[in-house]
Amino acid sequence: MIILAIETSCDETALALYDESKGLLEHVLQNQNNQLTKHGGVIPEIAARTHIQYLTPLLLQLLNNNNLKLTDLSFIAYTKGPGLIGSLLTGAAFAKSLSFGLKIPAIGINHLEGHLLACMITETPTFPFLALLVSGGHTMLIKANSLGNYEVLGETLDDAAGEALDKTAKMLGLTPPTGKELAKLAALSNKPADCHFTKPLIEQNNLNFSFSGLKTAAMLKIKQGKYQATHLAFAFQQAVMDTLIIKTKLALKITGLNQLVVAGGVSANYYLREQLLQLNNHSVKVFFPKLEFCTDNAAMIAIAAFLRIQKYHNCLEQILDQDLDIIAKPRWELNYPRDK
């Protein structure tokens, strides 16, 4: 059984091939960083049109690299949501066309579940586990009870952590990939000097986050012109990451769970990785995706599809698309197939 996975929820066009017995064969992706730099952010219409340009060449490249033909495929997995509607529709339409033409089933996957399960490409956490999901659009603490059964314990009340990092990086004049560039700049700071940010909501005994005030504080400090960019980047990164770490520790304490899965683009951050991996010395097993599977990619969509196909093998109709409708869900809750 070979799964082709397609991810087009935002501005990365990504494809992957997953083999039931060999695991991940290969994943490829094309970002749109040049467009991001040119326009100062994602323009949804341009992102969608660019996916259309990239999808077919990437698919041919992937098949060619692996000596496979379209007729070798068994399932087409695609990101059905959440994300930008135009971008999602390009992937959904591409997947459904392949599914129709090849007479093989299509399976819509939740992008957030893809992130949540990304570490399982190489690691083996077992349910139940606590997950910290931090991306450009989401900041969530989740109790993952079983595949498809996720309890959101807390989330951001305003900006996502990644969004705050991106906007602050942009204010510092950095270009895409902004989050990664901010981390690089922060790494150049040997001492954050007197630059200090208050960590939001850490006094509250709940698992919610708020990052928009922090972003405003960064804007004010940048305007003051008093701090070196490296120190500002370090202090800001530290405040965001320490907040994530404090709330994650609280969630581990509240739930009593002893496995932590960290996921989403921000999980690529070296400071967050270093700090949370230290929990391994305190009877918590910590799992991070490999760096290439932290930010948006199709390998995570492939592993989510594979695990679902395995789990539902006796009742596949519950998870596979039943008709040719091309449906994308810009907003989509994590627990499905309850919500079709």
Can you give the binding site for ligand KG4, defined by CB under 6 A?
115, 135-137, 162, 165-166, 178-180, 183, 264-266, 268-269, 295-296
Instruction: List phi, psi (to 5°) of 59.
Output: -65, -45
Could you tell me the strand order of the sheet in which 285-287 lies? 149-155, 139-146, 129-134, 259-263, 285-287
Helix, coil or strand: residue 292: helix
**Residue closest to 142 by CA, chosen among 209, 239, 207:** 207
With CB under 5 to 8 Å by kind, the binding choice for 273 among Zn ion, ligand KG4, none is none
**Least distance from ligand KG4 to the Cβ atom of residue 154, Å:** 18
Backbone angles phi, psi at 316, to 5 degrees: -60, -25
- Report the nearest approach of Zn ion to the CB of residue 8 (Å): 11
Find the shortest distance in angstroms from Cβ 162 to Zn ion. 9
Q: How far is CA 150 from CA 108, 259, 296, in A?
A: 17, 15, 20
**Cα Rg of the chain (Å, integer):** 20
Tell me: does residue 32 bind Zn ion (CB under 5 A).
no
Given the complex with ligand KG4, which of 2 and 332 has the nearer CB atom?
332
10's tokens: 């935002």
200 binds, among ligand KG4, Zn ion, none (CB under 5 to 8 A by kind): none
- 161 vs 320, beta carbon nearer ligand KG4: 161
Q: Shortest Cβ distance from residue 135 to Zn ion (Å)?
A: 4
Which residue lies nearer to Zn ion by CB, 138 or 199? 138
Q: Looking at beta carbons only, is 17 or 268 nearer to ligand KG4?
A: 268
- Around 219, how many Cα atoms within 13 Å sit in the side-chain half-sphere? 10
H or E stretch at 266: none
Instruction: Please state the closest distance from residue 111 (CB atom) to ligand KG4, in A.
Output: 6
Per CB under 5 A, does 166 bind Zn ion?
A: no
Per CB under 5 A, does 135 bind Zn ion?
yes
Options 19-27, 49-57, 196-204, 292-300: segment touching Zn ion (CB under 5 A): 292-300
296 binds Zn ion (CB under 5 A): yes
Q: Which uninterrupted H or E stretch holds 23?
A: strand 23-30
Shortest spacing between CB 195 and ligand KG4, in angstroms = 18
- From residue 266, alpha-carbon distances to 38, 271, 316 in Å are 23, 10, 33
Q: What is the distance between the alpha carbons of residues 303 and 65, in angstroms, rounded to a whole number?
A: 20
Q: Does 110 bind Zn ion (CB under 5 A)?
A: no
When CB distances to ligand KG4 are compared, the closest residue is 179
Nearer to Zn ion, 33 or 255 (CB): 33
For Zn ion, which is the closer residue by CB, 11 or 296?
A: 296
Q: What is the β-pairing status of strands 139-146 and 149-155?
A: antiparallel
Least gap, CB of 146 to ligand KG4 (angstroms): 23
